[in-house]
Amino acid sequence: MIDVKSIEIEKLRIKAESYFKEGYYCSEAVVKAFEDVTGVRFSDDFKKSMAILGEGIGGQGCICGAVSASILILGRFTGRLNVYEDKQQSQKAGKLFIERFKEKYKTTCCKSLTKRSEMIFGIGKFKHCPQITSFCAVLLLEILSENNLLRNL
């Protein structure tokens, strides 16, 4: 079990931004930073699948890759393996993440986020992505902690 109090939020933030700046997609950066800081490990297949989420799923500008990756990680802790298991915890966690993201950024759409980046951040297209990436990584950890979802490690 992870003691979230001992996790350095600033370390998570810095790692997520650094991975993005190294050339990883935001989705990949969230996963790598989460692994580094929490010690949780994901399969290589899971990590490989993060590339398709980049630039709004296949570069189409749909949902932000950092948001998508965070939702999938939340699913790792809240999901179910069969129809007899409860789906409410997963639905609640996903809804909470999206609501909090939208409180700050108003949309989850990559195309809208990058289009509005100059207005929001005073910087050009994709220059805001490191901040969004780190915001998602931290928000993910906060939601997992608040809901005592890190207990099953």
Residue at 70 is within a domain: yes
As a whole number of angstroms, the distance between CA 37 and CA 16 comes to 10
pLDDT digits 0-9 by tens, 113-131: 887 666 666 655 567 899 9
Residue at 108 is within a domain: yes
pLDDT value of residue 148: 87
Mean pLDDT score of the chain = 89
pLDDT of 5 > 70? The answer is no
**Structural domains in the chain (count):** 1
DSSP assigned state of 109: B
Q: Percentage of the chain surpassing pLDDT 70?
A: 86
pLDDT value of residue 114: 82
As a whole number of angstroms, the distance between CA 140 and CA 96 comes to 10
Residue at 55 is within a domain: yes
For the ranges 5-14, 51-60, 72-81, 124-133, the one whose mean pLDDT is highest:
72-81
pLDDT digits 0-9 by tens, 6-40: 567 899 999 999 999 999 999 999 999 999 999 99
Residue at 82 is within a domain: yes
Residue at 24 is within a domain: yes
Helix axes 26-38, 129-146, angle to 10 degrees: 40
Question: Across residues 79-107, what is the average pLDDT?
Answer: 95
pLDDT value of residue 125: 58
Q: Which domain holds residue 84?
A: 4-146
pTM score, two decimals? 0.89
As a whole number of angstroms, the distance between CA 132 and CA 66 comes to 7
Residue at 153 is within a domain: no
Identify which of 82, 25, 33, 23 has the alpha carbon closest to the alpha carbon of residue 49. Answer: 25
Residue at 152 is within a domain: no
Residue at 127 is within a domain: yes
